[in-house]
């Protein structure tokens, strides 16, 4: 479905309440919450994903927005030009700009191509795996215009395969389904090898987590690999497909143990180790991460470096307190496994837990384990995950490296 100019005349504009902060929108804030919009009968009747003009309290146009009356984020800014046409050409212009940035950053086409609001496509995530792209249309407006987005993506990147990934909490909040599928071409029959930081990762693009691989940790993997050089013994907890473990081995670690609850993810990690010629230095252990760390401590195991990269324990403000307790527990269980003078890496992908709260939880956990340390490095997502200047949620990833 493509929005034609006539749509703007067919649909009524939406308007901010008089006391709403129109200045924030003018200065670049991309969202309008339901409490800040005049939510009258005409607005409530708009279909999810409708595109129309946003006005301030004095009925002056602020830009073109996508509206979803079913979502707490009722409007997402698409274009400051209220007469813009959201069609294939519009998508192609946004995608070209995103691709130009990644072409400056990476030698090979393996990266996050579109990082939602930060790349001017609200709610849209696109990860690229060579000639295959995986789209997560996490907002109703993008779902409704998926055909135009896909056509533009093929045109701009030359992708032979385009997949849709419909997993994730964000789609449910938008009232969307969880049905993934193939939008163009034929889905890969096997995991796709992805070169990164000297290692090879195996990405399951149809059955794995999210889009198949987490590109965001790339610079933090590289930093961990530097610390592991010279034969370090490495423990990678919540490892997924071998994230930190394989990077550490590529950087010169002596051995690495990956811990994860998913047998399928660990099998992909093993295949990645084999592809990189590291299988003789790599081992896996399946089980609940907390239980495995407790068992390793009882067994007297110690490592030169321990990395914990758990899922989002605080995906919302309502889950923040419980999430911070979970991060503290991770640090408390991981710290005793680090040999004296060794390194501990702790990560969070929870946007609700900001850096200061996450750091405080980690320090409490380390202290309650009877350890002390220096913070060596604070890491964030790579530059293919740019941060929207007015949207803290787009800078969700934090990584702290300690020397204990």
DSSP output for 258-287: EEES-HHHHHHHHHHHHHTT-GGGEEEEES
The C-alpha atoms of residue 315 and residue 258 are separated, in whole angstroms, by: 24
SS3 content of the chain, % helix, strand, coil (to 5): 35, 25, 35
The C-alpha atoms of residue 306 and residue 235 are separated, in whole angstroms, by: 5
DSSP output for 67-121: E-TTSSEEEEEEESSTT---SHHHHHHHHHHHHHHHHHH-SSSEEEEEEGGGGT-
What are the φ/ψ torsions at residue 221 (nearest 5 degrees)? -60, -45
| Straight-line distance from the first to the last Cα atom of the chain, in angstroms, rounded to the nearest whole number | 56
Q: Which pairing describes strands 192-196 and 398-403: parallel, antiparallel, or unpaired?
A: unpaired
> Among 75, 308, 347, 349, which one carries the catalytic annotation?
349
The C-alpha atoms of residue 369 and residue 333 are separated, in whole angstroms, by: 7
308 tagged catalytic: no
What is Dmax (Cα atoms) for the chain?
71
Catalytic residues, by residue number, are: 349
């Amino acid at each position: 479905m493509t929005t034609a100019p006539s749509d703007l005349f067919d649909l009524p504009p939406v308007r901010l309440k008089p006391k709403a902060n129109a200045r924030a929108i003018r200065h670049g804030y991309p969202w309008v919450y339901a409490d800040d919009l005049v939510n009258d009968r005409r607005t409530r009747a708009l279909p999810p994903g409708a595109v129309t003009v946003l006005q301030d309290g004095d009925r002056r146009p602020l830009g073109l927005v996508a509206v979803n009356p079913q979502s707490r984020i009722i409007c997402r800014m698409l274009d400051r030009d209220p007469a813009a046409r959201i069609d294939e050409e519009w998508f192609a212009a946004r995608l070209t700009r995103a691709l130009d940035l990644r072409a400056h950053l990476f030698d090979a086409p393996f990266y996050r191509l579109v990082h939602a609001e930060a790349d001017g496509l609200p709610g849209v995530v696109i990860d690229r795996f060579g000639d295959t792209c995986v789209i997560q249309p996490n907002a109703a407006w993008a779902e409704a215009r998926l055909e135009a987005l896909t056509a533009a993506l093929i045109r701009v990147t030359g992708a032979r395969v385009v997949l849709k990934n419909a997993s994730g909490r964000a789609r449910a909040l938008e009232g969307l389904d969880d049905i993934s599928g193939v939008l163009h071409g034929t889905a890969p029959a096997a995991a796709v090898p992805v070169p990164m930081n000297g290692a090879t990762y195996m990405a399951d693009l149809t059955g794995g987590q999210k889009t198949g691989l987490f590109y965001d940790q790339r610079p933090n993997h590289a930093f961990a690999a530097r610390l592991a050089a010279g034969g370090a013994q490495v423990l990678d907890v919540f490892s997924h497909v071998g994230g930190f473990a394989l990077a550490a081995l590529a950087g010169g670690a002596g051995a690495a143990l990956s811990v994860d609850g998913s047998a399928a993810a660990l099998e992909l990690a093993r295949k990645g180790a084999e592809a990189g010629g590291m299988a003789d230095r790599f081992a896996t252990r399946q089980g609940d991460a907390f239980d495995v760390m407790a068992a390793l401590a009882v067994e007297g195991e110690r490592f030169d470096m321990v990395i914990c990269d758990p899922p989002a324990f605080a995906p919302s403000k309502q889950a923040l307190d419980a999430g911070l307790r979970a991060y503290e527990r991770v640090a408390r269980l991981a710290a005793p496994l680090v040999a004296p003078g060794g390194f501990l890496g702790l990560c969070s992908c929870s946007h609700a837990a900001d850096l200061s709260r996450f750091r405080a939880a980690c320090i409490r956990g380390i202290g309650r384990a009877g350890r002390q340390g220096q913070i060596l490095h604070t890491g964030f997502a790579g530059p293919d995950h740019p941060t929207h200047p007015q949207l803290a949620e787009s800078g969700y990833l934090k990584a702290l490296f300690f020397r204990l």
